[in-house]
Amino acid sequence: MRIILSYASEFDQGEGVHYCRVLRRLGHDVRELNVASSAHGTGSPGRLVLGYPAATRIEDFFEEDWKPDLYLYIEPLGLIPLGLENSAIPTACVICDVHRDLPSRQKLARLFDHVFLYQCNYLQYFTEHEQGAVQWFPCSCDVEFFKDLHLERDLDIAFIGKLPTSGTGSERKRILDFLRTKYRVNEARYYLQKEISDVYSRAKIVLNLPLGDDLNFRFFEALSCGALLLTRRVANGQEKLFKEDVHFAAFDTEEELFAKVDFYLRNEKARQIIAAAGHEEVVARHNLALRVNELLASVASGPRSSAPVRRLGKRQVLSTYASTYERAGRIEAILKLAADNRSHRFARVELVGRAFKTFMRRAFRGW
């Protein structure tokens, strides 16, 4: 299959690079796209990510000897071309942090025929598509990238993630600061993705402290690297995919968390049994190659041309694009929409207004 893959290649934390690697490993012809991107910043010297202006049209990717079969967008950022409402090929998107900004993700979903959500708790909020076009698509990981390196497990606990100094994230810092007084914990700093396997392969326990009710990548990466996963007990899909005390350990309160850390560090055999079972389950059922095959099969068998934007009027289409570009900070793309639609007076006024808001946000917030 020929696939256009759009994702934010300039950020190391994004998962798009893993999708690309796995798709090519499965034999697909993939072209990586971004907004004015290049190989610089991808973290892989010599790897080409084609860069285009934000307002490029989807038909611009069609060539005489290369007609794509699918446009796949891995949210957030990346390139969202114009013309999706008239796309001659299926379009699909994988949407991430719906628990942080649901309204913008609902608007984004309108542009695509097929929508795949990492978080099952939010399926009910995406109702504009035909039945079968919006699906739960749990996180996973490339088990050939995130893997047990069979290192000495000289860390009692590992945690990799953001540590805000205030707000809801301060809970993470408080818990980890306490654990550091009693146990060997990895250094609190930013880690590149290529460093994660090394840290988790040295850890006896990987601690997962989700900021919301999300089922995140850390859950799967920890298991794939052979550590015992200790995570918050949340009904976010983890109870459907895995069994507590079989594949992972869980807690509700900080007291339970600290008690389980102490128990599993003192009981090596119990810890190793659960860690091994979790590792086997991820490799067998939750690796990215399986997920990607499921996605492609769903697109092939699912409803055709189901993107809500295909049924909207001109002004609504422009508003949908403008909202998406505004959130991504694409001032130039919004202004081009306004210039190209000068005859639509009310739409043009809205577009110019959104461009101004985007400029102000970038000027004062830095994005």
Peptide bond into 53 cis (omega under 30): no
Higher per-residue confidence, 280 vs 162: 280
Residues 161-188 pLDDT 10s: 988 765 555 889 999 999 999 999 999 9
Given a contact cutoff of 8 angstroms between Cβ atoms, the answer to whether 347 and 341 are in contact is yes
Do residues 307 and 321 share a domain? no
CATH number, position 73: 3.40.50.2000
* Separation of alpha carbons 349 and 231, rounded Å: 49
Q: Is the separation of the CB atoms in 3 and 31 below 8 Å?
A: yes
Do residues 257 and 300 share a domain?
A: no
| Token pair in block for residue 200 | 């988790």
The rounded distance, in Å, linking the Cα atoms of 323 and 104 is 8
Higher pLDDT, 174 or 329: 174
With 0-12 CB in 10 A as exposed, 13-18 as middle and 19+ as buried, what is 214? buried
Q: pTM for the complete prediction? A: 0.92
Same domain for 280 and 174:
yes
| 269 lies in the same domain as 359 | no
Give the residue from 120, 141, 110 showing the smallest Cα distance to 206: 141
* Res 358 pLDDT > 80: no
**74 in any annotated domain:** yes
Residues 216-229: pLDDT tens digits?
Answer: 999 999 999 999 99
A 10 A CB-CB count for 263 gives: 12
Do residue 249 and residue 345 come from a single domain?
A: no
214 and 161 share a domain? yes
- For residues 255 and 272, membership in a common domain is answered with yes
Q: How far apart are CA 263 and CA 258, in angstroms?
A: 9
Looking at the domain assignment, is residue 243 inside a domain? yes
Q: Residue 187's domain spans which residues?
A: 155-286
Whether residues 68 and 130 share a domain: the answer is: yes
Question: What is the distance between the alpha carbons of residues 98 and 46, in angstroms, rounded to a whole number?
Answer: 34
Same domain? 302 vs 338: no
The predicted pLDDT at position 14 comes to 87
Q: 127 and 197: one domain? A: no
The residues facing 155 across adjacent strands are: 203
Q: Tell me how far apart the alpha carbons of residues 102 and 79 are, in angstroms, rounded to a whole number.
A: 20
323 found inside a domain: yes
Tokens of 208: 């997962």
Same domain, 298 and 276: no
73 belongs to a structural domain:
yes
- Asked if the structure places residue 149 within a domain, the reply is no
Q: Residue 131 carries which DSSP code? A: T
27 and 109, same domain (yes or no)? yes
Write phi, then psi, for 30 (nearest 5 degrees). -115, 135
Instruction: Say how far apart CA 351 and CA 115 lie, in whole Å.
Output: 26
CA angle 229, 231, 233 (to 5 degrees): 135
The total of structural domains in the chain comes to 3
pLDDT at residue number 169: 57
Helical (H) or strand (E) element with 105 = helix 102-109
pLDDT of residue 353: 81
How many whole angstroms separate alpha carbon 69 and alpha carbon 228?
41
CB 264 within 8 A of CB 245: no
